[in-house]
Structure 1
Amino acid sequence: MLTHKSDQSGGRSRSTIRRSLQALALLFAMVIGTLPWTGAAQAHGTVINPASRAYQCWQSWGNQHMNPAMQQQDPMCWQAFQANPDTMWNWMSQLRDGLAGQFQARTPDGQLCSNALSRNNSLNQPGAWRATNVSRNLTVQMYDQASHGADYFRVYVTKQGFNPATQQLGWGNLDLITTTGRYAPAQNISFNVSLPDRSGKHILFVVWKASHMDQTYMWCSDINVG
């Protein structure tokens, strides 16, 4: 009888331990789910000035993405975090493979700011995105953590009269203003851009064709041309 009771006690102890471990595993998963995930993002890059939409949201709110003040202070970043926080955690990973230079034909109107990636659809939404103040002559700064280099950058700006607060971006809303040459692998790449006659709120749209393989990146940067 004593042996039998000891087995029951041991069984209950093991069951209690299992339940405790399961609870700890669940808690750990919940905590990890609230932290920035940057594994995939570390191999790529984005335009950091004027800041792309996802980068601006991450830079402004990444450390306080649960702050309810964001809803009033930065409503477009708020809706983006609500839609999919991974869009901001992976601000370096807005790429598509294998476009073979056909980025315009294979990117529908209304999906330019997300690079036609459904997980980033929040970036396509019109509204009061925070804008970087720029002059008509500006320097575009791009950060590429893995130093892929570039076959080229193509830079567009929205036409005068386009309203980023109410309109989704389409190819017909853009003017191509710069096509660069190749850039050697480097983490920091910058080049000068001269805007045509523009004033007020606009979108600077940048296409990056990386050199290491057939990867095409596209970003929207909100600007206020003074």
Structure 2
Amino acid sequence: MKKRIALLAVAATVGAVLVHTGGTAVAHGSMVWPGSRTYLCYEDGRAGGGGGDLQPTNPACAAAVAQGGKQPLWDWFGNLISNAAGRHREIIPDGNLCGPTTKFAAYNLARSDWPVTQVQANSTVTFRYNAWAPHPGTWDQYVTRDGYDPSQPLKWSDLESVPFDSVTNPPLANGEYSWQARLPNKTGRHIIYSLWQRSDSPEAFYSCSDVVFGGGNNNGDTTAPSAPGTPVASNVTSNSVKLDWSAATDNVGVTSYTVYRGTQAVATTSSTSATITGLSADTQYSFTVVAKDSAGNTSPASSSVTVRTASGGGGDPTGSCEVSYSRPSSWSGGFTANVAVKNTGTSAVNAWQLVWDFPSGQQLSQAWSSTITVANGKATATGASYNANLAPGATASFGFNATTTSTPADPTSFTLNGSVCAIR
């Protein structure tokens, strides 16, 4: 009996430890491009540990571990103050900006050998911020002043007085926030300092990203951007269509996107959206997007989207599709949805894409009989191999599970390859 009691005590202790570890895992995020000190040191530790324990080989990362241990690296996404409430300069003293709490204090070390990210001055880039637990709020990005000395502790006066970039509630997809920003005109080594102040809580997050700004040439950059996301069509008329896509990523920064109709370039933009005009009525078109970086490297083409323009009169095509949307089950914090899309037109819809609004409080967790991506507040479902094409009168059915922070509301509009669908 004594042995059984002892074993139960050990099991209870292990259970308590597991619960505590699970609680730690809900910390909230950090900059992953350009990488923060905690994130890049974590990645350096993973590489040095060969997939087991964290063993940083970068000298600054190793010094931080020697001073503060490895737990800050395991929790690289948790560099926060829970009651900041916008009082950053009031509660964080000079020299503590990169690690404002005791746990992360080692990441304030004044060294010039922290891992760095090469960036291009004046280029448009895509910032990426990991989201372990999504929250609404505003991100402000500052850069150090000209003449900043990395061998000295970072002070508030070392930062430019205003942020060069600010964004509220950026798009969230695949566990990351991402948004485009224009980098400042700097040269040499600097710090990009990111402040994320939640709007639903006084909690705020901090990260220091060490960067080296290049000049106007390619600085040996031969790495092409990744392919942009598949374009999503909307606002289809008899002679135009609006296309939106998720951003490409690049080791330095994406500067522009080119939209192709077949093999012909029809638009170039620095944003992730373009309206294509001059199209013919009741005609099917295929569009792809290619990204370009500041060194002139071009990405692979995105997957294509096929769109049929309206038959005339400049309005949206209607009556060519019908959607049934239902939620057979809901629970606290989530729901299941079933969707059926029917081609009610007289022509086949090949490589179908169904698009609807996906509120920021919802997060996709699972899908079946289709592939669903979420970006810029829109969900896009594409057919599986066995139901990707819809003949006239055919129906494709699919479903998904999602988490939600509020009572879910049924979508009020759907578009199938750019055509507005009836809802039944």
- Smaller-chain TM-score bracket: 0.7 to 0.9
Q: Deviations over 1:42-77 (max 9, x none)?
A: 33111111111011011121361565xx4xx51111
1:58 paired with 2:42, answer yes
Matches of 2:54 and 2:26 in 1, distance apart?
23
Q: Counterpart of 1:168 in 2: which secondary structure?
A: coil
Give the counterpart letter for 2:95 in structure 1. G
Distance apart, 1:217 and its partner CA:
0.4
Q: Deviations over 1:198-224 (max 9, x none)?
A: 111110000001244221001100111
Does structure 1 conserve the Cα–Cα contact (< 8 Å) formed by 2:44 and 2:58? no
Q: Counterpart of 1:79 in 2: which secondary structure?
A: helix
Give the counterpart letter for 1:112 in structure 2. L
Distance apart, 1:184 and its partner CA:
6.4
Partner of 1:95: 80
Does structure 2 conserve the Cα–Cα contact (< 8 Å) formed by 1:87 and 1:119? yes
Give the counterpart letter for 1:223 in structure 2. V
Give the counterpart letter for 2:133 in structure 1. A
Partner of 1:40: 24
Structure richer in helix, relative to its length: 1
Distance apart, 1:88 and its partner CA:
0.5
1:119 paired with 2:103, answer yes
Matches of 2:154 and 2:103 in 1, distance apart?
17
Q: Counterpart of 1:45 in 2: which secondary structure?
A: coil
Query: How do 1:130-209 residues align onto structure 2 when only pairs under 5 Å count?
Result: 130-136=115-121, 137=123, 138-149=125-136, 151-164=137-150, 166-175=151-160, 176-183=163-170, 187-209=175-197
Matches of 1:155 and 1:120 in 2, distance apart?
20
Partner of 1:11: none
Matches of 2:88 and 2:105 in 1, distance apart?
17
Matches of 2:89 and 2:201 in 1, distance apart?
18
Partner of 1:219: 207
RMSD (CA atoms): 2.6
Does structure 1 conserve the Cα–Cα contact (< 8 Å) formed by 2:85 and 2:197? no
Does structure 1 conserve the Cα–Cα contact (< 8 Å) formed by 2:27 and 2:75? no
Q: Counterpart of 2:89 in 1: which secondary structure?
A: coil
Does structure 1 conserve the Cα–Cα contact (< 8 Å) formed by 2:127 and 2:179? yes
Does structure 2 conserve the Cα–Cα contact (< 8 Å) formed by 1:100 and 1:214? yes
Q: Residues 59 and 100 (structure 1 numbering): CA distance in 2 closer, same or farther, change over 3 Å? A: same
Matches of 1:201 and 1:190 in 2, distance apart?
24
* Residue ranges of structure 1 left out of the alignment (5+ in a row): 1-13
After TM superposition, the score normalised by the length of structure 2 is: 0.42
Partner of 2:349: none
Q: Residues 38 and 89 (structure 1 numbering): CA distance in 2 closer, same or farther, change over 3 Å? A: farther
Does structure 1 conserve the Cα–Cα contact (< 8 Å) formed by 2:144 and 2:158? yes
Alignment: residue pair count: 192
Q: Counterpart of 1:163 in 2: which secondary structure?
A: coil
Matches of 2:144 and 2:27 in 1, distance apart?
29
Distance apart, 1:196 and its partner CA:
2.6
Q: Residues 207 and 170 (structure 1 numbering): CA distance in 2 closer, same or farther, change over 3 Å? A: same
Does structure 2 conserve the Cα–Cα contact (< 8 Å) formed by 1:133 and 1:224? yes
Partner of 2:91: 106
Matches of 1:197 and 1:161 in 2, distance apart?
13
Does structure 1 conserve the Cα–Cα contact (< 8 Å) formed by 2:119 and 2:212? yes
Does structure 2 conserve the Cα–Cα contact (< 8 Å) formed by 1:38 and 1:89? no
Once the two structures are overlaid, the 10-residue window that deviates more, 95-104 or 177-186, is: 177-186
Structure richer in strand, relative to its length: 2
Matches of 1:82 and 1:174 in 2, distance apart?
28
Matches of 1:43 and 1:66 in 2, distance apart?
19
Structure of greater relative contact order (alpha carbons < 8 Å, 6+ residues apart): 1
Q: Counterpart of 1:76 in 2: which secondary structure?
A: helix
Does structure 2 conserve the Cα–Cα contact (< 8 Å) formed by 1:46 and 1:142? yes
Matches of 1:144 and 1:211 in 2, distance apart?
15
After TM superposition, the score normalised by the length of structure 1 is: 0.75
Does structure 2 conserve the Cα–Cα contact (< 8 Å) formed by 1:53 and 1:219? yes
Distance apart, 1:38 and its partner CA:
6.8
Matches of 1:81 and 1:181 in 2, distance apart?
33
